[in-house]
Amino acid sequence: MKDIILIVLIVVGTALGLILGYYLRKVYGAKQKDSAEAKIKESLDAAKSKQKELELNAKNKAIAIIDDAKKEEVSRRHELTTAQKRLEQREEKFDKKILELEDKQQKLFDKANSIEQIKKQIGKIKNQQIEKLESVAGLKKEDALNVLLELIEKKNKETVVSRIRKMENESSEELEKKAKDILAVVVQRTAISHASESTTTVVSLPTDEMKGRIIGREGRNIKTIEQLTGVEIIVDDTPGAIIVSGFSPIRRHLAKKTLEKLIQDGRIHPTKIEGAIEESKKELSLEIRKAGEEALFEVGVTGLDPKLVQIIGRLKYRTSYGQNALRHSIEVCFLSALLAEQLGGDVAVAKKAGILHDIGKAVDHEIQGTHPEIGRDIAKKFNLPDEIIQPILTHHDDKPPTLESVIVKVADAISGARPGARKDTYEKYLQRLSELEDVANSFEGVEKSYAIQAGREVRVFVRSEQVDDLGAQKMAESIAKKVEEELKYPGEIKVNVIRETRVTEYAR
């Protein structure tokens, strides 16, 4: 019974506990629900209030931005309006200036036209006056001018002559003295012999029997030699010798060496001839190079390309007016260096230009063009500087562009024109002197003339009663001009016209 009551009590207590718990949960949940709703409501109210506040601030900002934009737009419109007004004003000013310029231009055109018309009128009046003067005077304008010049010349002849002499003395005496001093020093310090060459070379033979062996059967040997060397072999009655004739010294030397080898060997036939020529060519090439190296060593020039040295060596077998081209180039090199030293030029440039000035002559038989142009092309090929190329190109020009070019031109003239430098035959020498005197004697008033200084100077004596001082001056110029036009000569010729009056009286 107690157990049942205990069980009942437990069940009743449990039920009561469950009911009480349910009730309590219900009451507590309602309270919590009411509290959450209240909080949510408060949050919503606060959010709405914040939203309204933000919307209000945004509206205020938008209104402020719109106001600023309106103000900026008004300002820009004002600026644009001002700029437009300025542009309109400038356009008006430009239009006015353009109109003014057009007016001025039209006025200038009108003035120019009027000036041209006035010039034409003046020209017509001038021509009319000249025609009237010519009809009154009975002379043409040119004739009157000649008469006037003759009158002035006669009236002021002594003044003109004295003035000319004074100017000549003032301008030339000091320069001539200085030039003579320089040239004297240079020529005294340079003395190089020249070997005269001809167009033939003599080859000695051990016996006259060798002539027939050189000719060969039906002339085949001599034809082979002539064909391969480009020379002519003359076999005549001269005992113990044959003659090699040719314009090129290199070819003559090659033929001579070939003949000497064949004579020494004794076997002469076309095949042997070809071998001897090839061997001689190699030896000649070495000799040419050696000649170029010796020449450069002699003058003290270094740094040139070996191929250029080979070309310089070829000048040994080239002559000009009987003067050996290599010896001439060496002399010009020395003269150029000494002149550059005296005149303050570049000695190194003058020396190189001097030794190379006739380099074109080494190949001028093979290449078309003048030897200065060929020399310029060779110098450019070996990348020589322009200060060396200029003297090579212009050493025969009237006005060389640089001091070194002038020095090389003068040195070339000194080397070629000095006595004994170039070979002339006795007949040509006499003929040149005779022609020089004939040119001087062809002028009216000449009493006698003499060619002196190996044809470098001609002295002309005139009759004082026929030629006055001014006439002597004019005659000297005319003789020099006629000599330049009609005669060929190396260097220059000095023309001296001498007029003197001798009065002789006897005291008795």
- At residue 129, the pLDDT reads 81
pLDDT digits (tens, 9 = 90+) for 98-138: 888 888 888 888 888 889 889 888 888 888 887 777 777 67
The SS3 of residue 1 is coil
What is the crossing angle of helices 347-356 and 403-417, to 10°?
A: 50
- At residue 196, the pLDDT reads 43
**C-beta of residue 329 within 8 angstroms of C-beta of residue 355:** yes
Q: How far apart are CA 346 and CA 339, in angstroms?
A: 10
Q: Which residues does residue 242 pair with via DSSP β-bridges, in sequence order?
A: 203
- At residue 145, the pLDDT reads 73
Question: What does the DSSP 8-state code read for residue 195?
Answer: -
- At residue 197, the pLDDT reads 47
Q: Nearest 5°: phi and psi at 165? A: -65, -40
- At residue 193, the pLDDT reads 45
Cα-to-chain-centroid distance, residue 169: 36
What is the arithmetic mean of pLDDT over 327-339? Answer: 86
Q: Nearest 5°: phi and psi at 452? A: -130, 180
Alpha-helical segments (H) within 266-358: 270-299, 306-314, 325-343, 347-356
Q: How far apart are CA 319 and CA 325, in angstroms?
A: 5
- At residue 490, the pLDDT reads 65
- At residue 179, the pLDDT reads 65
Q: Which stretch of 60-64, 86-90, 318-322, 352-356 has the lowest confidence by average pLDDT? A: 318-322
Q: How far apart are CA 334 and CA 354, in angstroms?
A: 8
Q: Which residue has the tokens 């004297």?
A: 184
Place domain 304-423 in its CATH homologous superfamily: Hypothetical protein af1432 (1.10.3210.10)
Question: Is domain 195-299 given the CATH code 2.130.10.10 in the classification?
Answer: no
- CB neighbours of 15 closer than 8 A, spacing ≥ 6? none
Using pLDDT thresholds of 50, 70 and 90, give the confidence band for residue 427: low
Mean residue pLDDT across the chain: 78
The SS3 of residue 247 is coil
- At residue 419, the pLDDT reads 54
Q: How many CB atoms lie within 10 A of CB 446?
A: 19
Question: What does the DSSP 8-state code read for residue 494?
Answer: E
CA dihedral 451, 453, 455, 459 (to 10 degrees): -30
Q: Which residue has the higher pLDDT, 11 or 354?
A: 354
pLDDT greater than 80 at residue 140: no
Q: How far apart are CA 323 and CA 203, in angstroms?
A: 22
Q: How far apart are CA 208 and CA 239, in angstroms?
A: 7
Q: Which residues does residue 232 pair with via DSSP β-bridges, in sequence order?
A: 245
**C-beta of residue 352 within 8 angstroms of C-beta of residue 302:** no
Question: What does the DSSP 8-state code read for residue 457?
Answer: E
What residues does CATH 1.10.3210.10 cover in the chain?
304-423
**C-beta of residue 479 within 8 angstroms of C-beta of residue 497:** yes
pLDDT greater than 80 at residue 280: yes
- At residue 219, the pLDDT reads 82
Q: How far apart are CA 416 and CA 253, in angstroms?
A: 25
**C-beta of residue 382 within 8 angstroms of C-beta of residue 389:** no
Strands (DSSP E) along 95-240, which ranges? 200-204, 232-234
Percent of the chain with pLDDT over 70: 78
Q: How many CB atoms lie within 10 A of CB 396?
A: 13
- At residue 385, the pLDDT reads 87
- Residue 154 structure tokens: 């006669």
pLDDT greater than 50 at residue 426: no
What residues does CATH 3.30.300.20 cover in the chain?
428-498
pLDDT greater than 60 at residue 188: no
**C-beta of residue 388 within 8 angstroms of C-beta of residue 353:** yes
- CB neighbours of 320 closer than 8 A, spacing ≥ 6? 328, 358, 361, 416, 422
Using pLDDT thresholds of 50, 70 and 90, give the confidence band for residue 322: low
pLDDT digits (tens, 9 = 90+) for 469-489: 888 888 888 998 888 888 877
**C-beta of residue 408 within 8 angstroms of C-beta of residue 332:** yes
- At residue 401, the pLDDT reads 79
Question: What does the DSSP 8-state code read for residue 395?
Answer: T
**C-beta of residue 292 within 8 angstroms of C-beta of residue 313:** yes
pLDDT digits (tens, 9 = 90+) for 77-88: 888 888 888 888
Using pLDDT thresholds of 50, 70 and 90, give the confidence band for residue 28: low
> Nearest Cα to 455, choosing from 418, 481, 485?
418
Rounded to two decimals, the pTM is 0.47
Q: How far apart are CA 204 and CA 214, in angstroms?
A: 12
Q: Which residue has the higher pLDDT, 189 or 341?
A: 341
pLDDT digits (tens, 9 = 90+) for 205-258: 888 788 888 888 888 888 888 777 777 788 877 788 888 877 667 778 888 888
**C-beta of residue 357 within 8 angstroms of C-beta of residue 369:** no
- At residue 33, the pLDDT reads 57
What is the arithmetic mean of pLDDT over 199-203? Answer: 75
Starting at the earlier edge strand, list the strands of the sheet with 232-234.
200-204, 241-245, 232-234
CATH top class, domain 428-498: alpha beta
pLDDT greater than 60 at residue 351: yes
- At residue 245, the pLDDT reads 78
What residues does CATH 3.30.1370.10 cover in the chain?
195-299
